[in-house]
Structure 1
């Protein structure tokens, strides 16, 4: 293909367990005018060998010591040939065969610079994180979003807008929030496509959960300096979210199964957030590496369109042997 409409950019690092399912789902899409680019930051587990079993366009290598989330996206966008850059996490997979077309169709509005899609937890994703996905990614579309929120685990941007606004390579996370804030200030719009759904698999250790929320809090403080998260905020947020998750689990009849996970996840989430907001000094290169390559065994260190409107069939993953079982998507 000489001129793809979209360039799908996948950041990956040791994603052997997930990359095959994602690529299978991508190449089952009804929209076919795309290329796939991997931005790999030093995988050693066979990720690239699995990826090369699919017709990917290119693998862009970024040295681990130079990695940041924003820099990896800039590498991918620089190599892209499409009018749109589509970002999807290596541990996600599309639910239906119209995922890509649903994500891109909102660009028919020339004011829209970024579109992000729905995410739902799958596989070993913690109960509390599944509740976060439900809160962040509603069932109805948002044509013009008032806030700069977006999430690059499942999103697309105009490449020509990226040329004007490259991603901030210094941030330790939330590069999508920062990008959304800057383009909205320039007069562009952010749109949410509820039918462009992916299943997001997170299988993180306690240290990785803490680490993720800590580095995102540090980035949040850089992006919006006048916001804070005090010790009182930590206590209040922890209590409120534990009660909310517990109530949901009770209604579903699974409280005893998930109570320990709820207590642990929310503690790590909000303690990491508090510690991140508490930092006053700049982030050292050594700390950046800890954020991006943590020791898995270590601890701290409005429209009304909905999924029902989509008549597209689900992607068939049953013929391929993957690490995690497919979620029930027969409805």
Structure 2
């Protein structure tokens, strides 16, 4: 990357912040203000905010600057998830780097505090937090969030699953091994695998909760899972996903989702989206890679398998009041 082409930021002379938050964005004016307002209301005060913008044509950059974010630019033609993160982290001054999608927002004012707390263990290289869908989320995506991000925290996770929509890493370890800029996705999984192989641990914090907003069309769901499968086969070259996997996992997850939707009284409103979402998820995965060799069992369970025919656990009660976003100042966010 060249500084001029990528809009690299120069280091600031201000005191080192408690953490640096790197946000990747492209045309996120509808969502980014809520994330930035949530950051403003955190118990961890004065974090550094760095926006890596990949060619927004809306008010994304202007909104971020209203909240004091430093902005780095990357050309859409040069974008990859790993490259944009490397650009943002290179400009960051904090030792602890928080990574957030532009279309998430924290539920509680101690989100950052909960996400950073596991770093008190010097062996922890990465922490990731809970994600849930908003009221408008597809039913199947809500089921996926429930599967991937359980209600109980795990201070020492043995496998490399994580998600950079809501995560944090140590900068000094990133300096040893930046994100792979050639992967089409799953740069988080790839980096976490490296960290575990180096003897470090991952931690999961269920208290560090965000709402992850997705408004995807069937084609966008297909493209997302196809892209991630292409990256997955790069990271784990011996793995396979054949037509038997496609049929079994599509039918199994559709059946599971329909059962859960019926139990929750949402079958009538959700059945059609359940069918197309799960088909696009696994058809995209099938098209993304077809290789010989078995899937890693823990990752297969995490990525693909349905929740089973039991009720999802109820969210753990907390003594912390959630952030009330309907109180956001009108002059801070452009609708």
TM range (shorter): 0.7 to 0.9
Instruction: State the TM-score, normalizing by the size of structure 1.
Output: 0.87
- Long gaps (5+) in structure 1: 281-305, 325-331
Counterpart among 303, 327, 330 of residue 319 in structure 1 = 327
Q: CA RMSD, aligned part only?
A: 1.6
> d(CA) in 2 for partners of 1:26 and 1:4?
14
| 2:209 is equivalent to residue 201 of structure 1 | no
Preserved CA contact (<8 Å) 1:18 1:323: no
Q: How many residues end up aligned between the 2 structures?
A: 297
Q: Provide, for residues 109-165 of structure 1, a one-character-per-residue CA deviation record: whole Å limited to 9, x for no partner.
A: 000000000000014321100100000000001111111000000000000010001
Does structure 2 retain, via aligned residues, the 8 Å contact 1:194–1:307? no
Question: Who is 1:284 aligned against?
Answer: none
For residue 168 of structure 2, the aligned residue among 156, 164, 189 is 156
> CA–CA distance in 1 between the matches of 2:321 and 2:203?
24
Q: 46, 49, 73: which one pairs with 2:59?
A: 46
Normalised by the size of structure 2, how large is the TM-score? Answer: 0.86
- Could you say which residue in structure 2 is the equivalent of 1:113? 125
Indicate the larger mover: 174-183 or 119-128: 119-128
Q: Is the 8 A contact 2:238 2:291 kept in 1?
A: no
- Give the alignment partner of residue 135 of structure 1, picking from 147, 153, 156: 147
The equivalent residue for 1:262 is: 274
Q: CA deviation at 1:311?
A: 2.4
SS at structure 2 position matched to 1:191: strand
Alignment partner for residue 102 of structure 1, among 103, 114, 123?
114
How far apart in 2 are the matches of 1:272 and 1:47?
30
Hey, what does 1:235 align to over in structure 2? Answer: 247
Are 1:12 and 2:20 an aligned pair? no
Q: How does 1:249-288 map to 2 (within 5 A)?
A: 249-278=261-290
Provide the rounded CA distance (Å) in 2 between the counterparts of 1:26 and 1:279. Answer: 42
2: CA distance between counterparts of 1:59 and 1:316? Answer: 27
Equivalent position SS for 1:55: coil
SS of residue matched to 2:325: coil
Q: Distance in 2 between matches of 1:313 and 1:37?
A: 27
Structure 2: runs of 5+ lacking an equivalent: 1-13, 293-314
Matched residue, 1:328: none
Check the 8 A contact 1:40/1:62 in 2, yes or no.
yes
Structure 1 contact 15–47 (Cα < 8 Å) conserved: yes
C-alpha spacing 1:209/1:323, structure 2 compared with 1 (3 Å): farther
What is aligned with 2:36?
Answer: 23
Q: Which residue of structure 1 aligns with residue 222 of structure 2?
A: 210
